[in-house]
Amino acid sequence: MKKTPVTTIVAIGIGAALFFVLGRFVTVPSPVPNTNISIQYGLLAFMAVMFGPVAGALIGLIGHALIDFSFGWGIWWSWVIASGCFGAFIGFAAGKLKLEDGEFGTRGMITFNVFQAIGHAAAWVLIAPVLDIVMYAEPANKVFVQGLVGGCVNIVTTAIIGTLLCVAYAASKPKQGSLRREN
C-alpha cells in the first residue's frame, strides 16, 4: 500500500475512532482504581507500525483524549501524552518490520513485541506516573502502581491483539519473489 499524506490522515482518523470505541466500550475494570484491561493498544501498535510514528502519536493522543472526555471526568493529559508517546515509539519499529513484503515470522514477532514492551514500560511506568505527579500532584505510590498494572496489562493485550493484526496483514500480502514468472 502506498502511503500518501492523504492515506495517513485517513488512517489517523480511522485509528483514533477505533481506539476510542475499543477503549471506551471494550474494557474490563482491573483491581487497581482507574485502570482497565482493554485492547486498543494492540490496534494502536499495528496502526503505528503501518503508518509511522507521527500517525501513531496522533492516534494515541486523539483516541485517548476522546475516551477521557466521554467519561465526563475531564481529560487526564498525563495519560493522554503517554498514549501518544507509546504510539510514536512503536511507529519507529516500522523500519525493522517487513509487513509490506508479507514477512512477519518469528523474528518479526519478537521485534514487534520487544518494541511494544519497551514502549509500554516507558509510557506507563515512567512517563504517565511522573506527569501525574508533576501536573496533578498525585501521590507517587498510587500512580506508580496504576502505571505498573496498566503497563503490564497493555503489554499482554498488545502482544496478543497487535501480533495477530500484524500476522493477518502480512499474510494478506504477496511474499517477496512469489510472483516470478516461470518458463
Render pLDDT for 109-144 as a digit per residue (tens, 0 to 9). 999 999 999 999 999 999 999 999 999 999 999 999
- Contact indicator for 166, 46 with CB cutoff of 8 Å: yes
> At 174, is the pLDDT very low, low, confident or very high (cuts 50, 70, 90)?
confident
- Strand partners for 98: 103
> At 178, is the pLDDT very low, low, confident or very high (cuts 50, 70, 90)?
low
b/e burial code for range 42-77 (CB count within 10 A of at least 16 → b): bbbbbbbbbbbbebbbbbbbbbbbbbbeeeeeeebb
| Tens digits of residue pLDDT in 65-86 | 999 999 988 999 999 999 999 9
The architecture (CATH level 2) of 5-91+100-172 comes to Orthogonal Bundle (1.10)
**Residue entry with cell 490522515:** 9
Collapsing DSSP to helix, strand or coil, 137 comes out as coil
pTM of the predicted structure, to 2 decimals: 0.92
Domain ranges within the chain, ordered by starting residue:
5-91+100-172
